[in-house]
Amino acid sequence: MLEAITPAKQAGACKTGGVDDDGHRFMTGLSKTRPSLAPWRPLRATIAAVLLAIGLAGPALAQDGARVTVTGEIADSWCTVSGLMFAKGSAHHQCAVWCALGGIPVAIRDAQGALYLVLRIGDDSDSVANPRIARLMAHEVSVDGELLERDGVKYLLVDKIADDKGVINLTHDEHGIQPFGN
Amino acid sequence: MGFAQAAEPWGIPHEKPVVLKGRVIEALCHLKGVCAPDCGAGKRQLGILEADGRFRLVGKGQVDFAGAAPDLAGFCGREVEADGLLIENPAITLFFAQGVREAGSTAPFTPTERFKTQWEARNSAAPEWWRADPESNAIIAETGPLGIKGLLPQPKP
């Protein structure tokens, strides 16, 4: 496995964190000390090119990720990275619902600003315009699942929503209702 | 990946106009080998797998508040060229596809606007799909615009 993310590797990836009784690692920050995967990139590219040539590009690169617990706000990725509006909390709930139902990738943003893109919740693999996910927008949640990192994206396969506090980040008094104030 | 001529800059931090070239695949299939035969018929997040093995998640299309899955799903498993903005934000790397075409085609890029076409086919034409969307309106009616039932913003003085 070329880029398997083992718990041991991930343990060095967080500024802070820990492991709970079930073996789930708490993710609380972006990696700054993670061992570099750069030496693997040329080999990975070569193998990928061969796999592409024989039509096995998708499943052939499948990997196993790390077991993690992620805590943060469910946010739409576009509004968060574009900076076109205030994409946090109650002010952004309505806009986030629109984006989620429009098919914008949904992520969990942790306290350090890292985004974990949700590809699956339980057995539900619909990650585009899923009403179940749209109902959770701007909620503060803790989820257990599998983390896979690839080319600048932290993908999260959620096994269980361990806690859902609802919308607790009250930002509307200062920022109104995004995006247009109504 | 090459530099684009047509992509419209948006002034988004870390954006870079590029033409991505590669195969359309779904993210879950690429990462875990859990593959739907038709890329999930537009219900799964899709990306472009470049020849060097890099996978670029396509997170946005040209329609306001909408992604590009409807534009890419028809190319499932095929090689395409996509014109747009690669946004390499430290928190996440996303591609904002503005146009797509079959690889090797000399035709102009087709604007990534299929979400609107499909939405209007299911509903009816509306100047702002998001305010007319039955699903969105049902959720917001239930939760309120702030996401907390019964909580409404203070009237502006």
pLDDT tens column, A114-163: 999 999 999 999 999 999 999 999 999 999 999 999 999 999 999 999 99
Give chain A positions within 8 Å (CB) of B68.
Answer: 103
CB–CB of A56/A48 below 8 Å? Answer: no
Cα distance between residue B14 and residue A165, in whole Å: 33
Global pTM reads 0.81
pLDDT at A27: 40
Taking only residues 17 to 36 of chain B, the set having a beta carbon closer than 8 angstroms to any beta carbon of chain A reads 23, 25-36
Give chain A positions within 8 Å (CB) of B115.
Answer: 102-103
- Compute CA distances A55 → A31, B45, B102, B107, whole Å: 33, 20, 17, 26
Check whether A172 has a pLDDT greater than 50.
yes
**Tokens representing B90?**
């430290």
Query: From the list A78, A98, A150, which residue is nearest B55 (CB)?
Result: A150
Query: From the list B29, B53, B92, which residue is nearest A58 (CB)?
Result: B29
Over residues B121-137, mean pLDDT: 96
pLDDT at B10: 94
The fold for domain B2-112 equals OB fold (Dihydrolipoamide Acetyltransferase, E2P) (2.40.50)
Encode A84-115: b = buried (16+ Cβ within 10 Å), e = exposed: eebbbbbbbbbbbbbbbbbbbbbbbbbeeebb
Alpha helices in A24-156 (DSSP H): 41-53, 57-60, 77-82, 93-101, 131-134
Question: How many beta carbons lie within 10 A of that of residue A45, not counting itself?
Answer: 15
Query: Residue B39: CB partners within 8 Å, gap ≥ 6?
Result: B24, B25, B26, B29, B46, B72, B73, B76, B77
Kindly identify which residue of chain B lies nearest to residue A42, measuring between CA atoms: B52
Taking only residues 30 to 89 of chain B, the set having a beta carbon closer than 8 angstroms to any beta carbon of chain A reads 30-36, 40, 42-45, 49, 51-57, 59-60, 63-70, 87-89
Query: Residue B22: CB partners within 8 Å, gap ≥ 6?
Result: B48, B49, B50, B51, B56, B79, B80
Over residues A54-69, mean pLDDT: 68
- Flag if B92 and A115 touch (Cβ within 8 Å): yes
Determine the angle formed by the axes of helices A93-101 and B134-143, rounding to 10 degrees: 150
CA angle A104, A105, A107 (to 5 degrees): 130
Enter the ipTM: 0.94
Kindly identify which residue of chain B lies nearest to residue A97, measuring between CA atoms: B136
Tens of pLDDT along B43-81? 999 999 999 999 999 999 999 999 999 999 999 999 999
Q: Is A94 left (phi over 0), alpha (psi -120 to 50) or beta?
A: alpha
β-strand pairing of B15-26 with A66-76: unpaired
- DSSP class of residue B147 equals S
